[in-house]
A and B are shown apart, each in its own frame.
Chain A
Amino acid sequence: MFKRGLKKALALTLALTFALTGCAQSGGTTQGKPSNEVVATENNEKNVKAGFIFMGPVADGGWSQSHNEGRLAAEAALGIETLYKESVPETQEVEKVARDMIDQGCNVIFAASFGYMDYIEKLAKEFPEVTFFHCSGYKTAENMSNYFGKIEDARYLSGLVAGLQTKTNQIGYVAAMPLPEVVRGINAFALGVKAVNPEATVKVSWTNAWYDPAKEKEAGSALIDGGCDVLAQHQNAAGAQQAAEEKGVWSIGYHADMSAVAPNANLTSAVWNWGPYYIEAIQSVMDGTYTAESYWEGIEAGVVDVSPLTANASAEAKEVVDAAKAQMLEGTLKAFQGPIVDQAGNERVAEGSELSDEEQLSCDWFVDNVIGEINQ
């Protein structure tokens, strides 16, 4: 009896499978069967198929999402085929993913996380015909560029907002790892705070993870419990925003406009806009004008910005930010202009000068209104 039932089940299985495949076919999927060939374009441009490797899910509401939006912008603007792979850890896995993409016909690879650097460098040697772009690192090769934006500009502006908003004069900062990239972001933010509120301090809490929503939220909650009433963050997810929303304090987002995640807490976000860079970079490969470079531009290039201030921020903050942003665009205001004093009280940058790019890239000290340690 049972056996006969199974036979029926098997027959039904096959019938259903075929029915479903039929449905999907007649439904007319636009995807069709994927091809490994790069679609030919009408002119003499080199055919490009670009593979993007992301650290987190493309719907992380932060870092990976901002890059994926850039990918989609490039796809739309240039009509090229792109692939992406999300949630790729900063291990040998990235090398495997990139190899798979090259095997699938990609001749341009964008790797959007710091920890991918050494693997990408190795692949660049092995695949001279492929052009590699690595985000947020410092290595280049003939066919490998690195690219990043001076998010410090946006950090400084968002620091102004935080400095004006805080009542307790304690601002929390949930940060991933003590890398120069993160440290200088904290410094720029703290300098913004200091410019409008010399009394306020910025307290740093390390999570040691780029993407860990639960840990980020936990660290944010602990900072709030310790007296902070504004939270900023250098994380790939929006855990700190959620902590601020739940505990009824304010927050400043990073990567993408995070106001939707924390509608009652969010003041503004320091955001990326990768589309223009991705279009320019891929275009250069198509034209054959590509040369390896270290792309590192700021607010004037449009690659970074602050999202519009929400209703949670004061009208005064909006005026201050608009004025400062206008000065930055004119070039009369820099995030790292002197005088800058470190935690130990040493003057790092004198009045009238600014921190050089090299010093920014290797930054391993905090400005004086930051509470926290780099070598934990």
Chain B
Amino acid sequence: MQIRVTKASNPSNKKKVFCTLVAIGLAMIITSVIIAVMGHNPLNVYYSMLEGCLGTSHRIKQTIITAIPLVVTAVGIGIAFRMKFWNIGAEGQILMGGCFATFVALYFKNLPAIVLLPTMILLSAIGGSIWALIPAILKAKFNTNETIVTLMMNYIALKWVVFLQYGPWKDPNAMGFPKIANFTDNAILPKLFGVHIGWIIALILVVVIYYFINHTKIGYEIQVLGESENTAKYAGMNVRKIILIAMMMSGAICGLTGMIQASAVNNTLTMDLTAGVGYTAIIIAWLSNLKTPWMVVVSILFAILTQGASYIQTVYQIPQAAAEVIQGIILFCILGSQFFINYKVHVKEVA
């Protein structure tokens, strides 16, 4: 028997829907087995997962709060991915954005919120874009591998924040406990309809970036560059300039996530600021096919999954690790189905 894999030229919508449904079904079987082994009724657990993320207004708010950083970061990463520039460095860009915003929040805390918050937003965008520009310049000048460089930059950013948290920014009033002082109220994003205004920022970004990618010259250039660098060069585009601009924007938006999370969610900077958002957003950007509006939908689905897994943990007293396994299996199956959508498997009997 011979197995051959070829790329499917243009997968039909029918096939996409079908593969995704099979993946969800498969995920449900596997997780059902695990849940049943743990002695719970899978249907009840699935129902509880939904109840846990949508059951009360409090839970819906929590789900939205979980989705906000995913949307913003996915939108940011998406710009670089459009150009086939693999920005794995969102984690680091979020941390540096958070770090710059925290600098403003800690040292200019007497400014009124109307001045302080926009300054924090601006600085976080600058912080994130500096962190993204370093690998972009290295790529444009020396053609370094951006995947490796952006990934490594994450660890540098993380260690930098750890240094600040345990060193110069350690709160002297915390009796030796290594934490950075909480922000004052004027450095915390206000709420609208019970959820911090990060959701408005996220929606505005989605619209702006959608327009930018699809209806501006530079957005078009980014897309062309992503399709083929040679085409871009033939058309007389300045490839280096496009790389730098796109990465600067990508990093700036990721940095903004850092400000939103530090200000509205953590009320301070901590080494746990990202909570893995930078990596999850990569998956979201992919599953959305890099289509900006879809990122909102996929992010909300992810938030539902996260929130639901957290809820069943307390309700059924399932160990955290088991809840994460369930989450992982669902994700694994759905990501796996992407393979069958984009590739064809031919099985041939060999005599």
The answer to whether B314 and A180 touch across the interface, beta carbons within 8 angstroms, is: no
Q: Does B201 have its Cβ within 8 Å of any Cβ on chain A?
A: no
The answer to whether B319 and A57 touch across the interface, beta carbons within 8 angstroms, is: yes
The answer to whether A29 and B41 touch across the interface, beta carbons within 8 angstroms, is: yes
Q: Does A16 have its Cβ within 8 Å of any Cβ on chain B?
A: yes
Interface range for B: 35 or more
CB-defined contacts of B178 to chain A, threshold 8 Å: 177, 208
What CA separation (Å) do A101 and B321 show in the bound complex?
Answer: 19
Q: Which residue of A lies closest to B310 (CB)?
A: A100
From residue A365, how far is it (CB to closest CB) to chain B in Å?
12
The answer to whether A20 and B311 touch across the interface, beta carbons within 8 angstroms, is: no
**Contact partner, B265, options A16, A17, A92, A114, Cβ 8 Å:** A92
Q: Which residue of B lies closest to A178 (CB)?
A: B176
Convert B313-336 into 0s and 1s, putting 1 for each residue whose CB lies closer than 8 angstroms to a CB of A: 111110111000000000000000
What CA separation (Å) do A365 and B40 show in the bound complex?
Answer: 52
What CA separation (Å) do A241 and B321 show in the bound complex?
Answer: 24
**Contact partner, B25, options A1, A13, A32, Cβ 8 Å:** A13
What CA separation (Å) do A17 and B26 show in the bound complex?
Answer: 9
Q: Does B115 have its Cβ within 8 Å of any Cβ on chain A?
A: no
CB-defined contacts of B25 to chain A, threshold 8 Å: 9-10, 13-14, 17
Q: Which residues of A261-293 are within 8 A (CB) of B?
A: none
Q: Does B301 have its Cβ within 8 Å of any Cβ on chain A?
A: no
Q: Does B175 have its Cβ within 8 Å of any Cβ on chain A?
A: yes
CB-defined contacts of B43 to chain A, threshold 8 Å: 21
What CA separation (Å) do A16 and B345 show in the bound complex?
Answer: 25
CB-defined contacts of B56 to chain A, threshold 8 Å: 103
Stretch of B27-35, B98-106, B290-298 at the chain-chain interface:
B27-35
The answer to whether B347 and A2 touch across the interface, beta carbons within 8 angstroms, is: yes
The answer to whether B272 and A89 touch across the interface, beta carbons within 8 angstroms, is: yes
The answer to whether A177 and B177 touch across the interface, beta carbons within 8 angstroms, is: yes
**Contact partner, B39, options A29, A85, A90, A362, Cβ 8 Å:** A29
Q: Does A23 have its Cβ within 8 Å of any Cβ on chain B?
A: yes
Q: Which residue of A lies closest to B27 (CB)?
A: A13
Q: Does A24 have its Cβ within 8 Å of any Cβ on chain B?
A: yes
Q: Does B186 have its Cβ within 8 Å of any Cβ on chain A?
A: no
The answer to whether A91 and B26 touch across the interface, beta carbons within 8 angstroms, is: no
What CA separation (Å) do A139 and B224 show in the bound complex?
Answer: 59
CB-defined contacts of B316 to chain A, threshold 8 Å: 31, 34
**Contact partner, A100, options B44, B265, B314, B317, Cβ 8 Å:** B314
**Contact partner, A20, options B18, B42, B310, Cβ 8 Å:** B42
Determine chain B's interface SS by DSSP, over half rule. Answer: helix
**Contact partner, A13, options B28, B42, B176, B347, Cβ 8 Å:** B28
CB-defined contacts of A39 to chain B, threshold 8 Å: none
CB-defined contacts of B36 to chain A, threshold 8 Å: 20, 23-24, 27
What CA separation (Å) do A374 and B21 show in the bound complex?
Answer: 58
Most chain-B CB neighbours within 10 Å: which of A29, A32, A58, A180? Answer: A29
Q: Does B182 have its Cβ within 8 Å of any Cβ on chain A?
A: yes
Q: Which residues of A152-197 are within 8 A (CB) of B?
A: 177-180
Q: Does A125 have its Cβ within 8 Å of any Cβ on chain B?
A: no
Q: Which residues of B13-28 are within 8 A (CB) of A?
A: 18-19, 21-22, 25-26, 28
CB contact under 8 A between A103 and B48, given known A24-B42, A89-B272: no
CB-defined contacts of A177 to chain B, threshold 8 Å: 176-178
The answer to whether B177 and A13 touch across the interface, beta carbons within 8 angstroms, is: no
Q: Does B166 have its Cβ within 8 Å of any Cβ on chain A?
A: yes
CB contact under 8 A between A96 and B62, given known A6-B18, A91-B266, A179-B177: yes
Most chain-A CB neighbours within 10 Å: which of B28, B41, B313? Answer: B41
Give the size of the chain A interface in residues (CB under 8 angstroms).
52
Q: Does B179 have its Cβ within 8 Å of any Cβ on chain A?
A: yes
The answer to whether A103 and B44 touch across the interface, beta carbons within 8 angstroms, is: no
What CA separation (Å) do A31 and B43 show in the bound complex?
Answer: 13
What CA separation (Å) do A82 and B313 show in the bound complex?
Answer: 13
CB-defined contacts of B58 to chain A, threshold 8 Å: 99-100, 103
Q: Which residue of B lies closest to A104 (CB)?
A: B314
CB-defined contacts of A138 to chain B, threshold 8 Å: 175
**Contact partner, B311, options A1, A100, A118, Cβ 8 Å:** A100
CB-defined contacts of B139 to chain A, threshold 8 Å: none
What CA separation (Å) do A25 and B43 show in the bound complex?
Answer: 9
Q: Does B59 have its Cβ within 8 Å of any Cβ on chain A?
A: yes
CB contact under 8 A between A83 and B26, given known A21-B32, A31-B40: no
Q: Does B270 have its Cβ within 8 Å of any Cβ on chain A?
A: yes
What CA separation (Å) do A374 and B175 show in the bound complex?
Answer: 12
Q: Which residue of A lies closest to B57 (CB)?
A: A103
The answer to whether A17 and B29 touch across the interface, beta carbons within 8 angstroms, is: yes
Q: Does B267 have its Cβ within 8 Å of any Cβ on chain A?
A: yes
The answer to whether A20 and B33 touch across the interface, beta carbons within 8 angstroms, is: yes
The answer to whether B175 and A179 touch across the interface, beta carbons within 8 angstroms, is: yes
CB contact under 8 A between A6 and B270, given known A179-B176, A179-B177: no
Most chain-A CB neighbours within 10 Å: which of B19, B42, B182, B266? Answer: B42
The answer to whether A84 and B32 touch across the interface, beta carbons within 8 angstroms, is: no
What CA separation (Å) do A16 and B30 show in the bound complex?
Answer: 10
Closest 3 CB pairs of A and B: A13-B25, A24-B41, A20-B32
Given contacts A13-B25, A180-B176, 13 further A-B contacts (CB under 8 A): A9-B22, A9-B26, A24-B40, A33-B47, A33-B48, A34-B315, A51-B314, A84-B317, A101-B314, A103-B59, A115-B179, A178-B176, A362-B175
24 A–B contacts from the bound complex (CB under 8 Å): A6-B22, A9-B22, A10-B21, A20-B42, A21-B32, A21-B41, A21-B42, A24-B41, A31-B316, A32-B44, A34-B48, A34-B315, A57-B321, A84-B314, A86-B320, A91-B272, A93-B275, A100-B59, A100-B310, A104-B311, A177-B178, A178-B176, A179-B177, A180-B176
